[in-house]
Amino acid sequence: MFVSQSMVSKVITIDKDASVFEAQEKMASNGIRHLPIVNSEDILIGIITDRDIRSTMPYRLIKETGSAKEREKLAGLKVKDIMTQDPQTIDLTYTIQDALLMIQKKKVGAFPVVDDNGKLKGILSIRDLLRAFINVLGIGEPGTLVGIEVTERVGQLKKIVDAVTEENISLGSVLVARTWDEGKRAVFPYLLTNNVVRIKKKLSDLGYKLIDPMKWSLDRIPKKP
C-alpha cells in the first residue's frame, strides 16, 4: 500500500509570515500537531509542530498571566522564526512500511508528502499509519490472535492456513516474525472468531507449539549457549 492511499490530501498549511499565535490557534481549532509551510506555488519550505510552539512559549501561562508587553513581544514572533526549514519528506512512491521505518528512524510524528518538484501533496502522520495497518491487518473486526511457533520450512504457513479454513474460520491477517531460536518462526494468525478451542487443539495435534501472543516478545534476552 502506497502512502498516497493513506495520507491526508487536504493539508492545512500556514504562511511563513503568520504569527506563532496564529499557528497555535490553527492547530488547536483543527485538532492537528503539524503545519507545513508552503510558498505561493505550494512548494514545501518548512514545517512547524506543536512541540516547536511549546518550546518557544508557554502559551497558556502567557495567555492567562502574562503582561501585555510580553504578549506584544511574542505576537511579533513569526512562523519562519521557529519552523524547521527543508524538513524530511517522503514521496508518493513510498509504501506505508517505508514510512513506518522512517518515522521510527527519524523520531518524528509526521512526514509531508511531496512530488518530484517539491510540491506538497499530503501529510502522513503516525495516526494515519495506525489506521492503515488496522485496515491491512483486519484487526478492526472482532476476533482472536493465535500464536504458533513453527520450524522454518517451506509449506508451514500453508498447513496452518489449510487447518484454519478446514474449520470454516475466516482469516483477518497472518503475521510471521523471526524468533531468537535459530530455525524457528512465530506465526500469528488473526482469526475472525472468538471460538478458537477446536482450531487450537487441531494445531496442537498437527505438532505445532502454541504460544501466548500476550507473553511473546522478540525483545527477550537470547538463550545462552
Domain ranges of the chain: 3-135, 144-211
Q: In terms of C-beta density within 10 A (0-12 exposed, 13-18 middle, 19 or more buried), how is residue 42 classed?
A: middle
pLDDT at 180: 79
Label the pairing between strands 147-151 and 184-191: antiparallel
In this prediction, the residues of the chain whose per-residue pLDDT falls under 50 are 59-61, 221-222, 225
User: Against a cut of 0.75, is the pTM above it?
Assistant: no
pLDDT in tens, 128-166: 998 888 887 777 788 999 999 999 889 999 999 999 999
Q: What is the pLDDT of residue 75?
A: 67
Q: What does the pLDDT read at residue 221? A: 45
pLDDT at 67: 55
* Domain 3-135, CATH: 3.10.580.10
Q: Which of 135, 128, 132, 153 is nearest to 190 (CA)?
A: 135
| 5: alpha, beta or left? (left if phi > 0; alpha if psi -120 to 50) | alpha
Q: Which pLDDT does position 66 carry in this prediction? A: 53
Q: Which of 90, 128, 152 is nearest to 5 (CA)?
A: 128
Is domain 144-211 annotated with CATH 3.30.70.260?
A: yes
Q: Pairing between strand 120-125 and 110-114?
A: antiparallel
